Amino acid sequence: MSGGVPSDRHVVVVGGGIAGLVAAYECARIGVRVTLLEADDRVGGCVRTEQIAGVDVDTGAESFATRGGTVRELIDELGLSDRVVEPSAEGAWLAFGNSAAPLPKAGVLGIPSNPLADDVRRIIGWKGAIRAYADRVKPVLTIGTERNLGELVEKRMGVAVLENLVAPVTNGVYSADPSQLDVSRAAPGLNNALTVAGSLSGAVATLRDNAPAGSAVGGFAGGMRVLVDALLDTLVNYEVRVLTATPATEIEYAGDEQWRVHADAGGDEPESLVLAADAVIVAAPESVALDLLAELVPASDAQAAPEAPVVDIVTLAVDSALLDAHPRGTGVLTAASARRTAKALTHSSAKWPWLAAALDAPHRHIVRVSFGRVGENSPLDGLDDLQIGELARTEASALLGVDIAARDVVETLRTRWVSTLPRAFAGQTERATTIRDAVTRHPGLDVTGAWLSGTGLASVIPDAAAAAARVRKRIVSEVLDGE
């Protein structure tokens, strides 16, 4: 590329999820030669689009957080601005006990800014609301007094708020209980707001007042693969070599600040590849990354993480006129008191107008039912496909409050994800920092990915760009020093 770094400089990116694609893009755009290795036969990682009943649906990530503007900046660079869409404003519901109600809107992670509001009292009752309101008259909070989100909420607002408002949200967002989450990571800015407001509800109100106007999330007409396809097209334009079905097997320091990456090309008889590189960015899932880095990162620095949650998404294509009115908005979160097996449900065709428009059968709906939490075995383990479909149907019926008969289900699709432990999980931020520091002590070696940055594109994309920037800075410095 004109004005860039000489193309004899070579960076190998291991992993073709969003982090790897972004890291490759950020390196290639300054003229560096880039090779990307992906073990799977597809790139995109947690962004996956599959077909059900003849339409494309997202079976992994379905949206991106708009905070920070980093995702939007990349979208604009890729020329995708006109493909961005907002979800329906209907909002989600909450299933609790034998009832369901719209999820209160004026809150953060389910923590209400006004415990006496009608939509809050409808769920936790007058007794729970009065107990929560006591937060306003308790001794003033100061920064740093609590790190455990569950303990903070219970101490200030009581069990009703914790179990019936906050836990359903954190289980839906993080697949984790509030007691497993760090306040500063799960709700950025809350600690500072606590110091100013002196109460938890006051702090939440402050965060809500300071939040930018507009939807907190966005998506793409056509699904999230629009972003993956655009990144791939851009990498092709930059002549990046993208090798799928090619798992990296070893990262070897070759001396003189050079690296060799060993990989197996796909096929019945895999061919061994050895790639020489000036720098390597590891953007693979945690277990793969730590195996590749085992000889370079001391075991004490790569301390074992708590077991990550296994999340199953069962997508149903349903023909039911009862769903035309979107009886539970864009979806349903579940409180433990609801005694449901599913942790959440998304009425995808109600949430995304573009998807509803793509359905070509009357009364056709797409529903995603989610199962799995941190520390629990998947409730789908041991079930066959028919049993899984039946469980998803009965859970969807209960959560949506309508009778979905077996004959109404046109097709069922199951997708399993071994989820990344959220950065908001207690201790995960410190662990991620320790591992990254150990990796980047090696010149030309870097690491990125959701297991370090936190889940969601708003976390993954800037982290991958930062890893690429560190590698680019080193390469550019070497080129300038050699002139």
- Res. 1 pLDDT band, cuts 50 70 90: very low
The residue with greater pLDDT, 2 or 10, is 10
Looking at residue 41, the DSSP 8-state letter turns out to be S
Model pLDDT, residue 243: 96
Q: What topology is assigned to 104-210 in CATH?
A: protoporphyrinogen ix oxidase, domain 3 (1.10.3110)
Strand ordering across the sheet containing 310-319 = 99-102, 93-96, 331-334, 344-347, 364-371, 310-319, 409-418
> What pLDDT, in 10s, does the model give residues 155-196?
999 999 999 999 999 988 888 899 989 888 888 888 888 888
Per CATH, the number for 309-418 is 3.90.660.20
Q: Which amino acid is at 271?
A: E
> What pLDDT, in 10s, does the model give residues 262-282?
999 876 666 889 999 999 999
User: Which part of the chain is CATH 1.10.3110.10?
Assistant: 104-210
> What pLDDT, in 10s, does the model give residues 21-56?
999 999 999 999 999 999 999 999 999 999 999 999
DSSP 75-102: HHHTT-GGGEEPPPTT--EEEETTEEEE
User: Which part of the chain is CATH 3.90.660.20?
Assistant: 309-418
- In this prediction the pTM is 0.91
Whether the predicted pLDDT of 126 surpasses 60 = yes
User: Which part of the chain is CATH 3.50.50.60?
Assistant: 10-46+224-305+423-481
Q: Residue 371: which residues within 8 A CB-CB, separation 6 or more?
A: 311, 312, 314, 341, 342, 343, 378, 379, 380
CA 14 to chain centroid: 20
- Containing 291, the helix (H) or strand (E) segment is helix 286-292
N residues, the chain: 483
- Res. 213 pLDDT band, cuts 50 70 90: low
Task: Please say whether the beta carbons of 35 and 10 come within 8 A.
Answer: yes
Per CATH, the number for 10-46+224-305+423-481 is 3.50.50.60
- Containing 353, the helix (H) or strand (E) segment is helix 353-358
Task: Please say whether the beta carbons of 47 and 225 come within 8 A.
Answer: yes
> What pLDDT, in 10s, does the model give residues 384-423?
999 999 999 999 999 999 999 999 999 999 999 876 666 6
Task: Please say whether the beta carbons of 279 and 34 come within 8 A.
Answer: no
